[in-house]
Amino acid sequence: MQPLVSIIIPHWNGIDIITECLESLQKATYSNFEIIVVDNDSSDDSVNHIRKYFPKVIIFENSRNEGYSGGCNRGSEIAKGEYLLFLNNDTVHQPNWIEPLVSLLEKNPKIASVQPKLLNYYQKNLFDYAGGAGGMMDILVFPFARGRIFTEQEIDTNQYNLKEKIFWSSGTAFLVRKTAFEKAGKFDELFFAHMEEIDLCWRFHLLGFDVWSEPSSVVYHKNAVSLPMYTEKKYYLNHRNSLTMLLTNYSLPLAIYVLPIRWALDIVAIIYAILKGDWKHIKGIVRAHAWIVFHPRKLFNKRIKVNAVRKVKDKTILRKMYSGSIVFAHYILRKNRYSVLTDKPRS
């Protein structure tokens, strides 16, 4: 029998969005799954709509908006599946997309997480911004993806059609072993939204697991529906959560070594934003650094949690990362995506 997959969808408003997603899931050829929608206190009658038109969907009602990380954690607590499939509500899917993901985890117990190929909903031959064909990371904790570096997205010409090890799987859609998810401590709810899946995958690596991309599974994503691009909140969360990972997931000596370099690049980003008159970006970066300065206890507590699961040393983690600065390589050396990804062989 096919193992049970629990599809967990955090949701906050947008009846039309969740409807299209659930209608797409009804066409899935995988036969053994449950759907759990975690409603983060929607104000648009989403819950009653789902109950009326999708009666088989399990609904967990939050009394407040707990974001992506909290919503997914609540869903995992009632999930019955051996595997958890975390999914954005603004996605549609090819009918046979679940089978390849399950098959890869079934074949290799060292894999904790796997993501499908993510393409843009509106331009279906364009890699999606939020994960492309698998997430990567540089040593300064700047994430990028196969198919997308910063704001530049590639056309899908089957250049990433081989399944491959990656550093992080996108929260847009990814399958995890429930046992590994719980062993890693679930999503850190300090993050609320953005990069919480990267933080989780980092802990998978610290536990000795691998993360893979499976491009024979395809999902289409309406990027930035929940939180629009180029908003101060999005800049703030991205910078704050990236800095939080740097300061808590690295060993203390390495974090102290890397942090000044990261500070310098953030200062450059502020100067560039000033020249462009991008005040939202400036305020987002400043707010992120202010949060880091004024919340040392939260950072300390997170370090304790990370160290509790750490089984692998930093030198092993660094071999899974891009060895330089993606900012310097892309913007200064003008390296294209292919040369960046082939600079260093994958471990």
pLDDT score of 347: 43
| Mean pLDDT over the full length of the chain | 94
Q: pLDDT tens, 233-258? A: 999 999 999 999 999 999 999 999 99
**pLDDT > 70: percent of the chain:** 94
Q: What is the 3-state secondary structure (H, E, C) of 3-51?
A: CCEEEEEEECCCHHHHHHHHHHHCCCCCCCEEEEEEECCCCCCHHHHHH
pLDDT score of 345: 40
Inform me whether the pLDDT recorded for 346 exceeds 50.
no
Q: Which amino acid is at 308?
A: A
Q: How far apart are the C-alpha atoms of 331 and 324, rounded to whole Å?
A: 13
Q: Which domains does the chain have, with CATH numbers?
A: 5-221 (3.90.550.10), 232-312 (no CATH)
Q: pLDDT tens, 98-112? A: 999 999 999 999 999
pTM: 0.94
CA distances from 33 to 23, 107, 109, 172, 215 (A): 14, 19, 20, 18, 21
Sign of CA dihedral 198, 293, 274, 258: negative
Q: pLDDT tens, 172-186? A: 999 999 999 999 999
Sign of CA dihedral 210, 216, 217, 218: positive
CA 204 to chain centre: 13
pLDDT band at 335 (very low <50, low <70, confident <90, very high): low
